[in-house]
Amino acid sequence: NMYKMITFFSVILGLVLTGLLFWALNFPPIVITLKGENQTFYAGERADIVLSQEDAKEFITEFIKVRYSLSGPHVEGMLKSIAPFAMEDYLLEAKKALAKDFPDSTKLDGFVQTVANIEPVVTEKDAQASFDKIVRIGGVPILVPTTIEMKIIKDRPSHWNPWGLFVLGVIEHEKR
């Protein structure tokens, strides 16, 4: 009889501890952002993050830098780089666009694309940005003024995406 009670309470304790473990693992990670050159350590606590328009602009700027910086035969690496910032549907669309724009990336040895003059604009309803794509083919630079409209959603922050913002879609307009 004693063994049955000990077994029963052990099972109950195990279930409670398992439940507590799953409950604790469902919290979003603690994210601490540092700006400047000195490294500072902070004791963190879990709290809901309220993002400002400046935070959203910072996210858009980082996304544009990662999405539109390409070099040579490594253009497919961009998809891995933007994965923390984008939803699956957008990644599939970006992959299709990449395959259409660069059908044979092995022949892109002299190709480099960077971005400059990023100017994000964030309102309550939408997000836009204008920037200059600088395309270098064989060392010759070509400037392409570009404007994008973005659909962004808020989700849980992560180590790679401390804002917790994710791109659902991008509409790109190039001025040629």
Beta-sheet strand order (sheet of 140-154): 70-71, 111-122, 127-137, 140-154, 165-174
Residue count of the chain: 176
**From CA 169, how far away is CA 118, in angstroms rounded?**
18
How many beta carbons lie within 10 A of that of residue 148, not counting itself? 21
Contacts by residues 132-136 (CB-CB < 8 Å, ≥ 24 positions apart): 133/68, 133/174, 135/111, 136/110, 136/111, 136/112
**From CA 145, how far away is CA 79, in angstroms rounded?**
22
Residue 172: helix, strand or coil by DSSP? strand
Look up the pTM and report it. Answer: 0.69
pLDDT tens, position by position, for the chain (176 residues)?
Answer: 888 899 999 999 999 999 988 887 776 655 555 666 665 555 556 666 677 888 889 999 999 998 888 776 666 677 788 888 888 888 888 888 877 777 765 666 777 888 999 999 988 888 999 999 888 877 788 888 999 999 988 888 888 888 888 888 888 888 76
Question: 127 with 62: CB under 8 angstroms?
Answer: no
